[in-house]
Amino acid sequence: MEEEEEERESLTLDKSLEAKYSKELDVAVRAVQMACFLCQKVQENFISKSNNQVHSKDDNSPVTVADWSVQATVSWLLSESFGSKNVSIVAEEDVQSLSKAEAAGLLAAVVKTVNNCLAEAPRFGLQGPLIPLGTSEVLEAISRCNSNGGPKGRFWALDPVDGTLGFVRGDQYAVALSLIENGEPVVGVLGCPNYPMRKEWLSYHHRYHRIISKLTPPTSESWDKGCVMYARRGSGEAWIQPVIQGNKKLVWPNSARPVNVSSIENPALATFCEPVEKSNSSHSFTAGLAHSVGVRKQPLRVYSMVKYAAIARGDAEIFMKFARSGYKEKIWDHAAGAVIIEEGWRCGD
């Protein structure tokens, strides 16, 4: 009797959670799909025109039009969907350098990029602005992402372009959005516009992939077909759907399928992920640690939170990162991916 009662309580809790976060998950998936669409357009411009619109922040990390544009777009969409007074956002970018007089051209490019993206909102199932946003409205949307977060209350965590270095090189990057309530990530959405549908392609250089994708028939699962993964806390499910290509409309959730982590338990058969850049993690240290626990396969080195996507889909089993001294991890670098992997693990349990 006690077991039956516990099971009924668990089912009631799951349904309550589903009802509670259904709109948040729906809007988040659609917003990240739009952000991926925006990033693809900007990245194509980088590659085709050798556009050097890369800027450095105070910590010397790179930032582009896409970073600010995605932050403005997602911020605006969340505020319109839930009301600006009800939305609190922690995000990576601010408007300090964007507001300087010498950045007028950059700001104009951000405003144009945001409005071009929001004009496509109806085919993603969201409502765009009746008239294009002005400069002040775009800056307000970016600066609205100034929450301090914390262990109480509700806020969104956004990394508009995680892995900007990979982004500007035409390689891997991610858009990460999560909802955090009372210190617990409850919704996670991870957009990976360049994550190939075939695992083996991850081992090759991104330029090789782009050549191959041009030679491959359009019906195949090619390099430029990305994905969006998402999960809701307590559901025991994680899902994956393709990034919308061309002028297609988003069909959601019908376009999604379950995804779960690898069932490999033998370290000799496991693959571990680590950052591409040596400055972000000690490759020699992780190699030594991997060898000591019996891992024998070559590491999978990818930019950004795509490492979480690789583990969630079962393309790798371990994520190791040992950052340089003084480096501080940010919540937007992990929250979305953590929810997806944990629920994907429960799904396969």
Q: Which residues are catalytic?
A: 67, 164
Q: How many angstroms separate the CA atoms of 24 and 42, rounded?
A: 27
DSSP 8-state class, residue 331: G
Query: How would DSSP label each residue in 45-79?
Result: HHHHHT---EEE-TTS-EEEHHHHHHHHHHHHHHH
Amino acid in the structure at residue 18: E
Q: How many angstroms separate the CA atoms of 166 and 174, rounded?
A: 9
Contact 176, 187 (CB under 8 A): no
- Other Cβ atoms closer than 10 A to 276: 18
Contact 179, 28 (CB under 8 A): yes
- Cα-Cα-Cα-Cα dihedral sign, residues 327, 332, 333, 339: positive
Report residue 288 as tokens.
């030594």
Place of tokens 């917003």: 31
Amino acid in the structure at residue 341: I
Least Cα distance to 306 among 273, 283, 284, 328 occurs for 273
Report residue 272 as tokens.
């571990």
Quick one: 227 exposed, middle or buried, by C-beta within 10 A (0-12, 13-18, 19+)?
buried
Amino acid in the structure at residue 215: L
DSSP 8-state class, residue 85: G
Quick one: 261 exposed, middle or buried, by C-beta within 10 A (0-12, 13-18, 19+)?
buried
Contact 52, 263 (CB under 8 A): no
Contact 164, 196 (CB under 8 A): no
